[in-house]
Amino acid sequence: MNLLRILLLPVFFAGSVVTMNAQSGGLQLLGIGPEAVSLSLSESVTALPLGPSSMFTNPALLRYSEQAEVSVSHSFWLENSANSHASLSLPVRGGHLGFGVLTSGVTNIEARQTPGQTAGTFDVRYYAFSGSYSTRIAFVDLGVTASYLYEQLYQLTATGYGLNAGLHTSLLDQRVRIGLAALNLGRMSTLSETRTPLPALLKAGIWADAVQFSVDNNSQIPILISFTSDVHIPLDTDEQTEAFSGNQPWISAGTQVRFAELIDVRAAFRTGDSKRPFSLGMGLNIEELIFSYAFVPFETGFGSTHTVSLRYLFDW
């Protein structure tokens, strides 16, 4: 047991580095935006359709993909850690189906039995394999996502499940959107002697296309300014979660400026005890292809993170 604790000390350090910034405990990949748009807007996207990635932020928004879509992203996170995501949404009779996977890992962690020379290196891995469905009843969109969770720390493994559920409605010809989502409800099996807590959250958000104008009289270059804001309420008050990042609610807010329906520029901030208080991003929309980038600096001296995402729309 002493050997196991020694081996897991660097795991705890590496894991806490990335989880404390997600504003939630447990499997850190579930508490971080799955792709670049959500990260550039500081995860204030509960009312913003993100294509198939919505299954991880508010599954009710899946139905706003009029075509089939595939989305992939990769985050160069802190230290030796990285997060990746891939998802697919398909319009079907009565609604939309979604399938996706999230992965996260910390590589080349040194294992030591005694101070001094290392006994080698190992990796820490997290996975979430998910399926989702969304539909519309009256004027409300409904959605649910179920996930199979897997974590591996050195030679230890654990499995579990997670559930996301969401609601969404729109006003003023979809210029104002309102969303509500409960994320990461579930449970993990025991890893060694304890269970890894999930970063369960209740989120309420609003998105508004606030200002639209043109830079010339011919309306050749329209500009649309939108604002978004989310309230994040942690649902897991487990002592281990509180030790990582606290369990107080916080608010995130951001803006997006779209030029000629082609280029997006984004910026956002968040309140509370956050190590990443603001974020920036951009997007490029070229017919069926949507490219996005997010830049998230940290205040803790660990540097900055970069995320790139690509969405592709197609008929099926």
Among 150, 225, 223, 133, residue whose Cα is nearest residue 186: 150
Residue 161: its pLDDT value, please?
96
Among 136, 158, 167, 160, residue whose Cα is nearest residue 146: 160
- Check pLDDT > 60 for residue 19: no
Q: What is the largest CA-CA distance in the chain?
A: 74
pLDDT tens sequence across 289-302: 999 999 999 887 77
Q: Take residue 259 and report the two structure tokens written for it.
A: 């030029």
- Check pLDDT > 80 for residue 10: no
**What domains are there in the chain, each with its CATH number?**
2-314 (2.40.160.60)
pTM of the complete model:
0.85
For residues 85 and 53, the answer to whether their CB atoms sit within 8 Å is yes
pLDDT tens sequence across 34-86: 999 999 999 999 999 999 999 999 999 999 988 999 999 999 987 778 899 99
pLDDT tens sequence across 241-278: 433 345 789 999 999 999 999 999 999 999 987 888 99
For residues 180 and 207, the answer to whether their CB atoms sit within 8 Å is no
- Check pLDDT > 80 for residue 1: no
| Residue 238 pLDDT grade (very low, low, confident, very high; cuts 50, 70, 90) | low
Rounded percentage of the chain residues whose pLDDT exceeds 90: 64
Among 166, 183, 158, 159, residue whose Cα is nearest residue 236: 183
For residues 83 and 104, the answer to whether their CB atoms sit within 8 Å is yes
Among 41, 43, 103, 30, residue whose Cα is nearest residue 72: 103
For residues 185 and 162, the answer to whether their CB atoms sit within 8 Å is yes
Up-side HSE of residue 277: CA atoms within 13 Å toward CB?
5
Distance, CA of 146 to CA of 169 (rounded, Å) = 22
| Sign (positive or negative) of CA dihedral 39, 43, 49, 55 | positive
Residue 119: its pLDDT value, please?
66
Return the bridge partners of 188, or none: 160
Q: What element of type H or E holds 191? A: strand 190-191
| Residue 182 pLDDT grade (very low, low, confident, very high; cuts 50, 70, 90) | very high
Q: Alpha helix locations (H) across 124-238? A: none
